[in-house]
Amino acid sequence: MQNPIQKRVIPRPKSAPFGPRSAFPSRHDTARRRERSTIWGHLRAILERPRSAPFRPRLGLPAGAVLALLILPPVHADTLAGKVVRILDGDTVEVLDARKQTYRIRLSAVDAPESKQPFGAKAKRALSALVAGETVSVEWRKIDRYDRRVGVLILDGTDVNLALVRAGFAWWYRAYAGEQSARDRQLYEAAEQAARREGLGLWSDPRPIAPWDWRAGGAPAKPSVGACPCDSGRTCTGPRGGIYCLRGSGTKQYFKRE
């Protein structure tokens, strides 16, 4: 049986993804197109690893499993399709369907930096460069208290939510991991670990503040002095304000906020 991973093709940016074509594209459109091409090129570079240096997530997944970012698992969800007409922030968009009805979409399982946070503006620009003006489908499972459909944004077969995490433009939102399949939880965690290890995007900051901590008005959580047994010295913020200590062995230990 042929390996399905080998059959996938990472989508390339379209030549004119932003509205009707013009013989004389504006400087703004040209800049957006260039930025979109740069982001997609970056995603291709980190997703398509040479065989001599495959990506091996520290979660017991097989080598090259990160390429499964582009395989969408079978799920039971409602689906809508339309054009992305507005980018509100790094994890929220508006989609206009064929009936001219607008839906506000909150990307599920991810949390991008807030607009006033460091890297918040870049996260918004990244999402805009990827999907603004594009026809997408949304697999959503619930409507939140702000009347937003919460789901996965899909462009040309690509899980955009997951791609943003892998490129360092958003955190994996662990507080809602229970709404994901076990397979998705593994993929999203592996994607975040890889982005962090490579210092991509928001992870270029050695101690980025998680959006949920920022909204609560707090700083990154710290373990008690002398309590952290890490031999790697690496940590990541947890959803309840605590901190995960990532050991060199690949295991992790959770500490509550002081």
Q: How many CB atoms lie within 10 A of CB 97?
A: 13
Per the annotation, the verdict on 240 as an active-site residue is no
CA distance 53 to 33: 30
Q: How many CB atoms lie within 10 A of CB 44?
A: 12
Out of 32, 33, 36, 114, the active site residue is 114
Report the side by side order of strands in the sheet with 252-255: 234-237, 243-246, 252-255
Out of 106, 149, 174, 196, the active site residue is 106
Taken in order 158, 163, 164, 170, the sign of the CA dihedral is positive
- Only one residue has tokens 């064929």, namely 98
What are the distances in angstroms from CA 240 to CA 14, 173, 213, 237?
Answer: 41, 11, 9, 9
Out of 32, 36, 148, 166, the active site residue is 148
What are the distances in angstroms from CA 155 to CA 81, 133, 134, 136, 158?
Answer: 10, 11, 8, 5, 5
Per the annotation, the verdict on 198 as an active-site residue is no
What are the distances in angstroms from CA 120 to CA 109, 152, 170?
Answer: 17, 20, 9
Per the annotation, the verdict on 106 as an active-site residue is yes
Residues labelled as active-site residues: 106, 114, 148
